[in-house]
Structure 1
Amino acid sequence: MNPPLSPSVCFRTLAMLSVCAGGLGWPLAGLAKDQDDSLFGLRPTTTTWRVTSETWKLPNNEKMGMVGGNLLFDVADNVKLGLASYGAVRGERGGFITLGMTGEVQQRLSPSLLGHVGLFVGAGSGRSSLALAGGGLMVRSDVGLIYEAGRYGKLGFGVSHVRFPSGSISTTQPYLLYEYSFNSLLGNGWDRGASGGSASAAPFGMASNAQEFSLVARSYRIPSSVVQDGGQPQHHSMQLLGVEWLSYLDDRWFLKLEAEGAVGGKSNGYMQILAGGGYRLPLTSSTAIKLHAAAGPAGGGNVDTGGGLLLDAGISLQQKLTQRTALELSVGELRAPSKSFKAQSVALKLNYQFGLPAATSATVPWSALDGFDSVPLRLRTVTQNYLKNSPNWRSSNVDQSVGNLGMQVDYFVSPNWFLTGQALAAYSGKAGGYMTGLVGAGGQLPVSDRWFVEGEALLGAAGGGGLAMGGGLVGQANASLGYRLSKSLSVMATAGHMSALRGDFKAKVVGVSLAYQFTGLAEK
């Protein structure tokens, strides 16, 4: 790691928000079991990345290959909770993507074999799937076996049942999985250094793992040979906004996860979630070249990705601006191997480089955390309803409201101000396939010991489900009333307004959320 330097408040905030805004991220560890808040130290929480593969059977003998990404946290003995996303990569419905909450109960059957039963509840869909997915609500249950293969991770198989209650999808199938577990350090509530600062003044320290977060503005140049999924010519360009997270395995090799949505180019509703890896080659002390390759589900917005699998490869030039920040110019090419979509990509990325504690399973003494700052975070499980506020706000069912389900993460830069990011998908209102990802800022004002009010403004990408989002760029403003149930839990009621900046969509917003406060740690 580079010598420690106190990061800017803004960049640290965005780094903590990023993965949740794309659907997955370590901040969910705040739902983990209560940490050991004794004088002796902080107890790590076992954290698991999981990838699954299965094939759904749809009506009329249609099949759709799905890949799932899960981030799970041990919240009690044999109980895990987390986030999950499922996306199409085979078949004819590229862009069919869902996200939501997942949980499971495990039971050890032998020294190396585990049994588990799981449940996922989420929302989404896509690619002309209204009759299949209805409003978008998805329920997936499963039962399976997991074999522990030591340091190489875990392998497993099982049987899952997937149902969209308001649609026609109801399918049972086998699945395969791979998972890898590590440890996260998160504190319960904001009692320790909630405004930032040292976790301890003792002279001992622990190692950190290098991370890199980027805000991404991307443009696709699309050849004239590419057509939409209905056969019409594809618009010659597309603009996207998103985030990227890199986790370094050593000084040069890294793993990456990115999520981006269309905000221009007549393809609102297009979304891609790509995972992969790469290599960083330093040229000088401040300049480097990065090579990467990634793959994942993508589609929507009439973009013809076929079954949904998208392949991406490219090269970047990275120039440091400060000890922790850098500017990166990336060029590459991507294509959907099963259909006509392909493009040349140019992206500008603003990087922030930092470190997370390299925790083991042992309790970490407070003295070992002197090199890390406390990061006060809040995770909200959110439901929002859109109510008609414009005659042409959607292409059909114009008098029906749209229900959305998702997550929101906040970082409090001070006791009264926070930055925020959210990811939502439709679950009701015959708008299956609608998704949105927004970032913004807000303020909180206490009214009493338990009551508080908040206001926030957000901007980002949205599309799908027949909502008239224009190019996909949207803005939202909310006001909320909250009540603290405990030092960690709050409930909030929200009212607001959302509109497309270049479309006819305008809606009143009403919602409720359950909020959990917790503390993360980032290298100074």
Structure 2
Amino acid sequence: MKNLILVILLLNVSIVLSQEQKEIPLKKSQFGFAQLDFLSVKMPDPEEKNMTLTGIHYNVMLNKYSYAGVGLYGAVSGERGGFFGLGINAGIKQNITNHLFVDAGLHFGGGGGALTPDGGGAYIIPHANLGYHFKPFDVTLGYSYINFFDYGKIKSHQFNAAIQIPLSFDYADFTENGNDYSIEGLKETAWNQPSNRFGLFVHFDNLSFDENSQFKQNTTIRLAGFEIQSYFRKNWFYFIKADGAYSGIPSGYMDVFVGPGYHLSMNKNRTNILAKFGVGAGGGGGVDTKGGFLINPDISLEQKVLKNIYLTVNKGFMLNFDKSFNASTFGFGLKYLEDINGISSEGNTKATAEFKGVEVIIAEEIYFNVQRMYGKHTQNMNQISVEFNFFLNKNIYAAGQTSFANFGNAGAYAEGTVGLGVETNRFFDETTTVFAQILGGAAGGGDINTGEGFVIKPSTGLNFKVSDKLNLHAAVGYVKTHGGDLNNTFVNFGINYNFSLLSAR
């Protein structure tokens, strides 16, 4: 018995020593920038006003001069409120002097709007700009061209202007996902820095229209949405959110907002009041927002119900400048809040910190034999999709996905879905993972009958490692609507960009 006790003690000591000797991962930095750009597009009908598109992008620097990323466009003036596009970016930024630089690149995506001559939805926007470095941001101006080349009629040459804001982040390799390290050990490394608060928010809003609004509906429009919040000061944050209608009107309505917010905590940080002001674009589904530009002031109350999870209720307004679209919003949601990439945060009493995995998946998705409403025929439909996965632990993740049709004569079809997934540990010599997920949300447009807009998408697939940050991605699944004709199998293929963030909350 004494020998057995001695062996157990020795094993415990060896485990403790091995944990203490576990090498803390190197803190790496990914340089990048956010961009807001504007272009005024000439429409095929000479009697129609130009459509002004505003783009929101995030690009990572691949090296000192080249970049790649994703971007979302929305109409903010003209006659095409509800026009949206989603795509991928690639380009170069090369300095000429200390202040002047050239920026040339290409955006490829899919999108459209109701009654817009967008064909299948596929488009390209090449640009060539001259930029100037200011201290906190860059400004560029130059030439761009837009072409809806899959049987669309929108082809336009125009000037474009952009504001670029440096936005980098620290990370560790994705292999650190789920690994714990002691706070004491991290204090001796570059991870010993103030953390940044980061929130993921799933919400449901009810949209009710003012009696003076030109848009009349006897029923409340119900929206489902996904929001990302990132804090740049103790109480100040910026956010981006997207909503889609899933009940109350024919499918197709969508909106996207960005803006600042202020966070006030009380009750030992268990209760929060948030005030936000969003600007963005919206429309579709028979909802006339004129040119598409909307503002969205909002106030919400959050109450902590579980570790890192808050229940929220919100009240706000959504309107355009002339109040022809004027609605109030009331909703609720669930929010997941983390302090990331540092070990010093208010109220942190944890002895360990954990790395949380993040995946950004850009894929081309194919729906097979999709029924059309008016032609009464079936045809394959392609869409470009971007999915964001945040790992709650080593194997379970929360997911948000948006996608827009780009081939198959369904321009203006779009989806916004959220859900949960599970992913295995790596096998086959640490190269392969298998995942399964289920997403649900809103979809519509493009002559595709999705009923009032609610869809559910279970799928399974695999990721194959090609570098520390990149994987090849493939999946197969099924999409089903409530009350619509879209009930089809699908496949997608793409690239999975992944990394880990340190959480000390």
| TM-score clears 0.5 | yes
Taking only aligned residues, the RMSD between alpha carbons, in angstroms, comes to 2.7
- Measure, in 2, the Cα distance between the counterparts of 1:241 and 1:377: 23
- Give the 3 Å change call, closer, same or farther, for CA 53–484 of structure 1 in structure 2: closer
Query: Does the Cα contact within 8 Å between 2:29 and 2:168 map onto a contact in 1?
Result: yes
1:206-217 counterparts in 2 under 5 A? 206-217=193-204
Q: Which moved more, 1:64-73 or 1:281-290?
A: 281-290
Unaligned runs of 5+ in 2: 1-22, 344-350
Query: Does the Cα contact within 8 Å between 1:87 and 1:96 map onto a contact in 2?
Result: yes
Partner of 1:243 in structure 2? Answer: 226
- Measure, in 2, the Cα distance between the counterparts of 1:105 and 1:276: 27
1:147 corresponds to which of 132, 141, 148 = 132
TM superposition shift of 1:177: 1.4
Partner of 1:108 in structure 2? Answer: 95
TM superposition shift of 1:385: 1.2
Pair 1:302 & 2:281 matched: no
1:347-366 counterparts in 2 under 5 A? 347-357=331-341
- Measure, in 1, the Cα distance between the counterparts of 2:263 and 2:496: 38
Query: Does the Cα contact within 8 Å between 1:435 and 1:462 map onto a contact in 2?
Result: yes
- Measure, in 2, the Cα distance between the counterparts of 1:412 and 1:351: 14
- Measure, in 1, the Cα distance between the counterparts of 2:398 and 2:240: 22
Partner of 2:348 in structure 1? Answer: none
Q: Deviations over 1:64-106 (max 9, x none)?
A: 0111111111111101111111110000001111011101101
Query: Does the Cα contact within 8 Å between 1:373 and 1:523 map onto a contact in 2?
Result: yes
Query: Does the Cα contact within 8 Å between 1:388 and 1:506 map onto a contact in 2?
Result: no
Amino acid in structure 1 at the alignment position of 2:368: L
- Measure, in 2, the Cα distance between the counterparts of 1:134 and 1:254: 39
Query: Does the Cα contact within 8 Å between 1:199 and 1:374 map onto a contact in 2?
Result: no
- Give the 3 Å change call, closer, same or farther, for CA 199–462 of structure 1 in structure 2: farther
TM superposition shift of 1:371: 6.8
Q: Secondary structure at the match of 1:59?
A: coil
Query: Does the Cα contact within 8 Å between 2:124 and 2:146 map onto a contact in 1?
Result: yes
- Measure, in 1, the Cα distance between the counterparts of 2:225 and 2:78: 26
Q: TM-score, normalised by structure 1?
A: 0.82
- Give the 3 Å change call, closer, same or farther, for CA 269–39 of structure 1 in structure 2: same
Which has the larger Rg? 2
Partner of 1:263 in structure 2? Answer: 246
Pair 1:511 & 2:486 matched: no
Q: Which moved more, 1:430-439 or 1:393-402?
A: 393-402
TM superposition shift of 1:427: 0.4
Query: Does the Cα contact within 8 Å between 1:306 and 1:339 map onto a contact in 2?
Result: no
Pair 1:332 & 2:316 matched: yes
Q: Which moved more, 1:70-79 or 1:470-479?
A: 470-479
- Give the 3 Å change call, closer, same or farther, for CA 213–457 of structure 1 in structure 2: closer
Query: Does the Cα contact within 8 Å between 2:479 and 2:490 map onto a contact in 1?
Result: yes
Query: Does the Cα contact within 8 Å between 1:267 and 1:303 map onto a contact in 2?
Result: no
1:117-266 counterparts in 2 under 5 A? 117-129=104-116, 132-151=117-136, 153-166=137-150, 167-190=152-175, 193-198=176-181, 201-204=185-188, 205-227=192-214, 233-266=216-249
Query: Does the Cα contact within 8 Å between 1:488 and 1:518 map onto a contact in 2?
Result: yes
Partner of 2:329 in structure 1? Answer: 345
- Measure, in 2, the Cα distance between the counterparts of 1:64 and 1:187: 42
1:479-494 counterparts in 2 under 5 A? 479-480=460-461, 483-486=464-467, 488-494=469-475
Query: Does the Cα contact within 8 Å between 1:393 and 1:506 map onto a contact in 2?
Result: no
Q: TM-score, normalised by structure 2?
A: 0.84
Query: Does the Cα contact within 8 Å between 2:114 and 2:284 map onto a contact in 1?
Result: yes
1:263-282 counterparts in 2 under 5 A? 263-282=246-265
How many aligned positions are there? 466
Partner of 1:382 in structure 2? Answer: 363
- Give the 3 Å change call, closer, same or farther, for CA 512–65 of structure 1 in structure 2: same
Pair 1:428 & 2:407 matched: yes
- Measure, in 2, the Cα distance between the counterparts of 1:447 and 1:355: 30
TM superposition shift of 1:322: 5.3
- Measure, in 2, the Cα distance between the counterparts of 1:414 and 1:111: 44
1:401 corresponds to which of 339, 362, 380 = 380
Query: Does the Cα contact within 8 Å between 2:341 and 2:501 map onto a contact in 1?
Result: no
Q: Secondary structure at the match of 1:133?
A: coil
Q: Secondary structure at the match of 1:396?
A: coil
Q: Percent same amino acid at aligned positions?
A: 26
2:38 corresponds to which of 41, 53, 57 = 53
TM superposition shift of 1:214: 1.9
Unaligned runs of 5+ in 1: 1-37, 360-369
- Greater RCO (CA < 8 Å, at least 6 residues apart): 1
Which 4+ stretches in 1 moved above 6 angstroms? Answer: none
